[in-house]
Structure 1
Amino acid sequence: MNKLDLKKLKLELAINAKSGIDFIISASIVWSAIAYIWTLPREPYSKSILTFYVGITMLPLALLLSKILKTKWTTKTNPLQPLGMWLNLAQLFYFPFLFFILRDNPDYFVMTYVIITGAHFFPYAWFYDEIGYAIFAGIISIGALVVAINVNVEKMYFVPLYMVLCLLLLTVWLIISNKRKKTRDNTV
């Protein structure tokens, strides 16, 4: 496979899946709910467990959004397509660290979860040939740490709010980028 063929395969995935925008919008909704959870007058451990429960809604919500936005999760003729699922599953290998934080320092659970989620965007920069994912992986991961260091633990809800802001900015980026890719694909 030459470089041009690989670029075409990645472009096909990006156009069909709209660069994963259904997942990014779903994540912004889920992280909004998580931000609300972290405003509740409960201990951090309980908020962390609720965060996991809310996180479960991510995939069904993304599936619903894929129907509304008319995105395709699978492109059977594209040999790169299964890689998308593998890239998503990769973040699960960071969860032992998340569970360690839950046990020993639940005040910083939400920050850790945001960092893991943000960092897992990085390989999608290659997968969709979309630099926005690489940029936001860094902005989210480093920014979550900076926010968490600069707020009291009682105001840790600012970390998921920061995540929502980043996800909304990434959504706008992807909308603009997807229009350009579709135009470029029509001219090829």
Structure 2
Amino acid sequence: MNTPDLKKLKLELALNAKSGIDFIISAAMVWGAIAYIWTLPKEAYSKSILTFYVGITMLPLALLLSKILKTKWTTKTNPLQPLGMWLNLAQLFYFPFLFFILRDNPDYFVMTYVIITGAHFFPYAWFYDEIGYAIFAGIIAVGALVVALNVTVGDMYFVPLYMVLCLLVLTVWLLISNKRKRRSANAVFN
């Protein structure tokens, strides 16, 4: 497979999935709910468990948004398509670290979760040919640490709020980028 063919396959995935924007919007909504959880007058361990429960809603919410936004999760003729799911599953291998934090230092659970989630965006920069994912992987991971180091443990809700802000900016970035890709696709596919 030569480079132009690979670029064409990646462009096809980006156009069909709209660069994963349904997942990003879903994540922003879920992280908004998580931010609320971290304002509750409960101990950090309980808030961490609730965070997991709320996080489970992301996939069904993304599926609903895919119907509204008319995105396609599968492109059967594209051999790169299965890689998207593998990239998403890769973040699960970081969860043992998350469970360690839950057990030994639950006050920093939400920060750790944000860092893992943000960092897992990085390979999508290649997958969708979208530099925004690489940029925001770094901004989210480093920014979550900076926010957590500068607030009290009682104010950790600022970390998921920071995540929401980043996801909303990434959403705007993707909307603009997807419009550009659609225009350039006319030249590539015609």
TM-score normalised by the chain length of structure 1: 1.00
What residue number does 1:168 align with?
A: 168
Q: Structure 1 residue 59: deviation in Å?
A: 0.2
Task: Give the distance between the partners of 2:178 and 2:125, measured in 1 at CA.
Answer: 13
CA distance in 2, matches of 1:124, 1:182: 18
User: Quick one: distance in 2 between partners of 1:73 and 1:176?
Assistant: 20
Name the structure 2 match of 1:38: 38
- Provide the residue aligned with 1:153 in structure 2: 153
| Matched residue, 1:113 | 113
What is the Cα deviation at residue 187 of structure 1?
2.0
Deviations along 1:133-157, whole A, 9 cap, x unmatched? 0000000000000000000000000
Between the aligned residues of both structures, percent identity stands at: 89
Runs of 5+ consecutive residues of structure 2 not aligned to the other structure: none
Segments ≥4 residues shifted beyond 4 Å: none
Is residue 104 from structure 1 mapped to residue 104 from structure 2 by the alignment?
Answer: yes
Q: Which residue of 2 aligns with 1:54?
A: 54
Q: What is the number of equivalent residue pairs in this alignment?
A: 188
1:6 maps to: 6
SS at match of 2:122: coil
2: CA distance, partners of 1:12 / 1:131 = 16
2:123 corresponds to 1:123 = yes
For 1:132 and 1:102, the matched residues in 2 are separated by 30
What one-letter code is carried by the residue in structure 2 that aligns with 1:57? T
Alpha-carbon offset, residue 26 of structure 1: 0.1
SS at 1:71 equivalent: coil
Query: How far, CA to CA, are the matches of 2:187 and 2:120 in structure 1?
Result: 32
Matched, 1:134 2:141: no
Aligned Cα RMSD in Å? 0.3
Q: Distance in 2 between matches of 1:133 and 1:108?
A: 24
Q: CA–CA distance in 1 between the matches of 2:80 and 2:180?
A: 21
For structure 1, which runs of at least 5 residues remain unmatched after alignment?
Answer: none
Q: C-alpha offsets along residues 60-88 of structure 1, whole Å, 9 cap, x if unaligned?
A: 00000000000000000000000000000
